[in-house]
Amino acid sequence: MHSKAFLAALLAPATVSAQLNDLAVAAGLKYFGTALGEGTINSDSQYAAILNDKREFGQLVPENGQKWDSTEPSRGQFNYNQGDITANQAKRNGQGLRCHTMVWYSQLPNWVSSGSWTKATLTSVMETHINNVMGHYKGQCYAWDVVNEAISDDGQWRNSVFLRTFSTDYLPLSFNLAKKADPNTKLYYNDYNLEYNQAKTDRAVELVKIVQAAGAPIDGVGFQGHLIVGSTPSRANLATTLKRFTALGVEVAYTELDIRHASLPASSSAQVTQGNDFANVVGSCVDVAGCVGVTVWGFTDKHSWVPGTFPGEGDALIYDSNYRKKAAWTSISSVLAAAATGAPPQSSSSSSTFVTVTARPTSTTTTTNTPPPATSTSSGGGGGAEQTRWGQCGGNGWAGPTRCQSPWTCQKQNDWYSQCL
């Protein structure tokens, strides 16, 4: 248990000196994590130094190393060299491990995607793959993304070799096979664009119900969170969407978060908006009982999948290409720090893999055991810029906008964090 005094020490005024995983755990989450780029970890020492610090990232997930084309490129021939990079790194650092991914239409070797299968033969292929890969990592993974991106953007079932062979019966089949392979890991459905609470989200709710109705186990839904600056839903709307799934008895998490600028270079106001967007996403997880953590899909703009996939877009992460913390990092840290002052700590029965607050920033400032009550603050300062709803508008060391867009007002939460409410 973390005492109030401990939290006071952790969150003492220069909050941005605390690191994201420590803040996330203090705020009641299990972890704040990142994807690991297998081609980068051994070639960029600055990247490695930040990624290996479990105070910043308490959980890792392999970017590509556990996908089917990497682990079983030819039928019956398994290779774990790439997947083991992340697993071994997490083990050395005392970080948690999310595992990604089993049954997915993409990055699927041609022998699977173009094969001529019956239900019996494809079941055998799936069982062999899942048993071998999950068996290799058995006992190491907090969660596995068992089925990935089974829904098209229009809300229809995505065409794949699995859907063509089984119809939607492949969904409970996949989860049953995964449970048999590793009974103690969390089993997730994982997808993007669920955040907008539209037809695709409705179908994902149906997916969970299909799996449950078949008597198959499903423990969580991963919201990938590949979003666009200025088009990210509000904190309240995101929380509403998360709750649609926790109401079904599953946990939720943001599993691949990045928020890209649609055009570059990004203006200073766009960078502020990006920070607000990240704060809204992370804040929504804090706001929902059953949201266990946040994983960014890489942490530095220097190594990101976005520009190669969306030409002309990018700068989607929380460190810039020179490894400087961006406004997005500060916004996340502020939201987590604000939540930590009132959050019950993770109990000792929670996963010990993730409940690891490892450092206490030093401070010469006296703090109280409880945060001061919220009060309105002045709306002056910050030049001509105005902050959006939920955004930070003041606090010790804050150099951003201090005026809020109408009708919101800047309200002091404590000495180091004020918010537009």
Residues annotated as catalytic (active site), given as ranges: 149, 256
Backbone Cα Rg of the chain: 22
Question: Tokens 């520009």 map to which residue?
Answer: 307
- Tokens 């509000």 belong to 234
User: 283 and 235 in contact (C-beta within 8 Å)?
Assistant: yes
Contacts of 246 (CB under 8 A, 6+ apart): 252, 288, 289, 290, 291
Element (H, E) at 376: strand 375-376
Per the listing, tokens 């491990």 go with 97
Instruction: Return d(Cα 49, Cα 414) in angstroms, integer.
Output: 32
Inter-CA distances, 331 with 298, 328, 393, Å: 17, 5, 10
CA distance 77 to 112: 13
| Residue that is written with structure tokens 């005392």 in the block | 94
| Nearest CA among 113, 128, 133 for reference residue 65 | 133
Question: Is the dihedral angle over the CA atoms 11, 57, 250, 275 positive or is it negative?
Answer: positive
Whether the CA torsion 170, 172, 174, 180 is positive or negative: it is negative
Amino acid at 169: D
Helix and strand element counts for the chain (H, E)? 14, 15
143 Cβ contact list (under 8 Å, min separation 6): 98, 99, 185, 186, 187, 188, 219, 220, 253
Whether the Cβ atoms of residue 149 and residue 191 lie closer than 8 Å to each other:
yes
Contact 307, 250 (CB under 8 A): no
